Amino acid sequence: MSYMTHADVGGRAGFGAVTPEPEGELFHAAWEPRALALTLAMGATGSWNIDASRAARETLPNYAGLSYYEIWLGALEKLLGERGLVAADELAAGHALRPATPLTRVLKADQVATALAKGSPTERAAVAPARFAVGQRVRTQADPALHHTRLPGYFRGKNGRIERVLGAHVFADAHARGLGEAPHWLYTVVFDATELWGAGADLALRVSFDAWEPYLQAA
């Protein structure tokens, strides 16, 4: 059994060239800012959390064929359907066919700027001492996760060094599955490029990755 994520493409070839876009070019169609606004507004209701929304995006079966905001919109429709907030016939019709389900919170127009500026801080009080210290050698877990995770495939089973201790933060792997925030210590880990991609990589290149403690073991 495996967890199918379509978003874990870092370090993999075959996706074509990266085409830089002009700085500040945020949208490519008139509907895209509306998709962004709808996603942010529904996230503010507390009907799901940010990690659940990421999990919904990465598990869309047609992920690879969608544009950025098509992925956001597809995940929004998926989350709304799973929680009984919108029915399939309403999506097909393009409008509500029955009374709306009451929501715990509603983001008003005059609250948007403040909400976006505030963000959603993830640091929490630690419940145990940090297991690792700056300078310590560590190895990332090698086995694929059977659930949403923020540990990319190309970092699995690799040796690195702790560069920074960042405090305890909401653990995305648990949060996405509705298991609570389960805060764990977060570390910046530095890897040699050759460790990640083999002898052909730039010998001078180092790659940093923020990893939760459950991702790591002493090397």
Say whether domain 32-118 belongs to CATH 3.40.640.10: no
Best CA proximity match to 144, nearest among 135, 134, 155, 136: 155
The whole-number average pLDDT for the span 145-173 is 96
Which tens digit of pLDDT belongs to each residue from 125-138? 999 999 999 999 99
What lies within 8 Å, CB to CB, of 207 at 6+ separation is 190, 191, 192, 193, 196
pTM: 0.90
Neighbour tally for 11: CB within 10 Å: 12
Same fold, 32-118 and 123-218: no
pLDDT of residue 11: 76
Q: Considering just the CA atoms, what is the radius of gyration of the chain in Å?
A: 20
Residue-wise pLDDT for 94-133, tens only, equals 999 999 999 989 999 999 999 889 888 999 999 999 999 9
Question: How many Å separate Cα 117 from the centre of its chain?
Answer: 19
For the chain, the structural domain boundaries read 32-118, 123-218
- Which class would CATH give 123-218? mainly beta
Phi, psi angle pair for 57, to nearest 5°: -65, -45
